[in-house]
């Protein structure tokens, strides 16, 4: 890597780490009910929402009640987004007269935004009205993110409480996550993005004259172009901060109206990991041992930096396919060199690689370059980070509770090695917790592999593959890795807006979200009911460098064992083919 590349990466990582403690401490106070002074202006609105919803903020829920509230709320959100799409042709704020979305696409999109996946099988600027974008998709960006954070807070309470039958109140956790965390941060980021040129308007799409007239496919002279606009900045802010990722425009943050400048690019990249990283500090603060949060953050950080290095180095290498055509790929004052295919010139290779690794590590799914055009190893990094279960930072809330599940597995394995009952944060880990942890880890893996196998085995699935050979297989594997782990990014090159893919990928998103959340809440309820076990001479320190190494090893081994055969059929064989050219 060049010196410039190292400086850009170091600046990004430093800015991220600087934000971890203040934001993490703030969120811990917000969820504990100790709202900082400067946020108390929101308290009247919080009380009004409780009164309007008939919610007793002091009432606590068992894990089953918590899960029921979560599922009910998510189902209502699904119906609302589905209905908006089916009726948008008759609703206001539709200046371009967008017709109703098809039933299968509406189902897929409603599931996608309800599950915080934000997978998009459509082009936003030619499919969705302003009302659907704002009232349906943007609102779900807030509430689905807050739901993930609420489940994490419930799990943290499971560790912090002793012999308790309850784990908190879902409605209170949901409201506090939105009002005290997501809304203020989104408002600040949206205003900054508007200052950089991200569009925010209710005006109709604009007709502009071309500087140089051109000719279309029929030979007709074209002198004007229609420019899509809309209320984008407000959606871009929460899509990044809530690790949602759904773009207002089809090409997402590669679009100049979503991401126009280097500063907007840096801030949007920072927003992807901001809350997931800070929640590690929140975790340590709420369980009463900040070292535990630092250990989890260290494990995430180490894997992230390693994968970022692989991606950057891979993309800065010459592409043999282009070299054989005589394309100059040498770095110079006039070009960055390396594999620039599918990347924005204004961002370059390093910023594209940072975004690619951050968005797939963090369950975000937004893009500022096309992953389909990455070198095979660069594509493999993005795919594998999702296949690890979105625990390297991961989604807001969901990434950390996934990592905690892996920590439970790690202490269980360590306990087997020394013949001692495993303990984590003062709670004994029994058979029930391990069964639930197994479901959390294995169900998304099974959905990825079974879904891919189904898609490449039936005619309806193969018809969507637009590229032959290993790369076409990689596109299918990537799609199911993305949806089953609630990421939402796509390799592209795969026609997915069909009844087959809309239905099967929708099922994958439901499994990846709720078949993980429910076992996590079951673990929270089980742990909360247990008494604390005092630390003894045989207790494994879960804040030590040794445990960090063990945790990373467990994550990587599970990922390697589950997906290496499938990866060998896609990006690995494609890389070997390139090397042989």
CA-based nearest residue to 251, from 234, 228, 231: 228
pLDDT at position 581 is: 65
In whole angstroms, what is the distance from residue 317 CA to residue 312 CA? 9
pLDDT at position 467 is: 87
Instruction: Concatenate the DSSP letters of all residues of 419-445 into one string.
Output: T---EETTEE--HHHHHHHHHHHHHHH
- The H or E element spanning position 366 is none
pLDDT at position 420 is: 80
pTM: predicted TM-score of the whole model, two decimal places: 0.94
Instruction: Concatenate the DSSP letters of all residues of 146-192 into one string.
Output: HHHHHHHHHHHHHHH-SS-S----HHHHHHHIIIIIIHHHHHHHHHH
Chain CA centroid to CA 267, Å: 16
146 near 182, Cβ under 8 Å?
Answer: yes
pLDDT at position 29 is: 93
Cβ-based neighbour number of residue 213 at 10 Å: 10
pLDDT at position 558 is: 85
pLDDT at position 43 is: 87
369 secondary structure, DSSP code: B
CA-based nearest residue to 96, from 197, 202, 198, 200: 202
pLDDT at position 569 is: 93
Instruction: Concatenate the DSSP letters of all residues of 179-218 into one string.
Output: IIIIHHHHHHHHHHHHHHT--B--PPPEEEEEEEEEE-TT
pLDDT at position 457 is: 95
221 secondary structure, DSSP code: E
483 secondary structure, DSSP code: H
Residues of the chain with pLDDT under 50: none
162 near 531, Cβ under 8 Å?
Answer: yes
Q: Which tokens go with 341? A: 């295919």
pLDDT at position 216 is: 85
pLDDT at position 68 is: 97
In whole angstroms, what is the distance from residue 36 CA to residue 58 CA? 20
Q: Which tokens go with 313? A: 């180095």
360 near 311, Cβ under 8 Å?
Answer: no
Query: SS3 letters for 343-360?
Result: ECCCCHHHHHHHHHHHHH
254 secondary structure, DSSP code: G
């Amino acid at each position: 890597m060049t010196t410039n590349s190292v400086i850009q990466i170091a600046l990004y990582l430093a800015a991220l780490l600087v934000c971890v403690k203040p934001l993490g401490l703030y969120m811990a106070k917000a969820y504990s009910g100790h709202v900082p002074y400067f946020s108390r202006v929101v308290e009247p609105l919080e009380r009004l929402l409780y009164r309007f919803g008939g919610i007793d903020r002091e009432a606590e829920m068992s894990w089953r009640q918590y899960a029921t509230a979560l599922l009910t709320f998510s189902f209502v959100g699904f119906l609302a987004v589905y209905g908006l799409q089916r009726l948008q042709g008759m609703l206001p704020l539709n200046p371009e007269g967008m017709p109703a979305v098809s039933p299968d696409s509406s189902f897929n999109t409603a599931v996608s935004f309800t599950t915080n996946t934000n997978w998009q099988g459509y082009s936003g600027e030619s499919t969705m009205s302003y009302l659907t974008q704002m009232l349906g998709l943007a609102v779900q960006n807030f509430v689905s993110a807050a739901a993930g954070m609420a489940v994490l807070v419930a799990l943290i309470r499971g560790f912090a409480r002793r012999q308790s039958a309850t784990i908190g109140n879902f409605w209170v956790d949901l409201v506090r996550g939105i009002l005290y965390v997501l809304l203020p941060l989104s408002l600040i980021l949206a205003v900054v993005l508007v200052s950089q040129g991200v569009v925010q308007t209710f005006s109709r799409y604009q007709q502009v004259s071309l500087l140089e007239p051109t000719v279309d496919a029929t030979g007709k002279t074209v002198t004007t172009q229609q420019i899509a606009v809309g209320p984008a900045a407000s959606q871009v802010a929460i899509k990044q901060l809530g690790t949602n990722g759904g773009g207002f425009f089809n090409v997402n943050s590669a679009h100049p109206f979503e991401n126009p400048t280097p500063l907007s690019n840096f801030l949007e990249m920072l927003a992807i990991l901001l809350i997931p990283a800070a929640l590690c500090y929140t975790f340590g603060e709420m369980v009463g041992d900040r070292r535990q949060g630092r250990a989890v953050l260290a494990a995430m950080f180490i894997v992230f930096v390693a994968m970022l290095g692989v991606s950057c180095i891979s993309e800065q290498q010459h592409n043999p396919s282009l070299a054989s055509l005589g394309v100059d790929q040498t770095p110079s004052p006039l070009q960055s060199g390396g594999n620039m295919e599918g990347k924005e010139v204004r961002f370059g290779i390093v910023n594209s690689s940072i975004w690619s690794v951050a968005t797939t590590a963090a369950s975000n799914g937004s893009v500022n370059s096309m992953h389909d055009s990455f070198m095979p190893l660069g594509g493999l990094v993005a795919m594998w980070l999702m296949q690890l279960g979105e625990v390297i930072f991961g989604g807001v809330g969901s990434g950390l509770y996934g990592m905690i599940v892996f920590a439970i597995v790690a202490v269980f394995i360590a306990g087997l090695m020394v013949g001692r009952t495993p303990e984590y944060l003062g709670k004994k880990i029994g058979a029930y917790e391990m069964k639930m942890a197994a479901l959390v880890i294995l169900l998304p893996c099974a959905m990825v592999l079974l879904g891919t196998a189904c898609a490449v085995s039936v005619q309806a699935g193969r018809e969507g593959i637009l590229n032959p050979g290993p790369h076409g297989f990689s596109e299918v594997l990537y799609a199911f890795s993305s949806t089953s782990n609630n990421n939402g990014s796509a390799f592209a090159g795969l026609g997915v807006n069909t009844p087959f893919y809309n239905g099967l990928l929708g099922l994958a998103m439901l499994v990846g979200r709720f078949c993980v959340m429910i076992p996590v809440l079951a673990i929270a309820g089980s742990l909360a009911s247990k008494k604390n076990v005092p630390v003894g001479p045989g207790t494994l320190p879960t804040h030590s460098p040794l445990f960090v190494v063990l945790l990373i090893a467990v994550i990587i081994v599970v990922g390697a064992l589950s997906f290496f055969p499938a990866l060998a059929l896609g990006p690995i064989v494609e890389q070997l083919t390139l090397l042989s050219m």
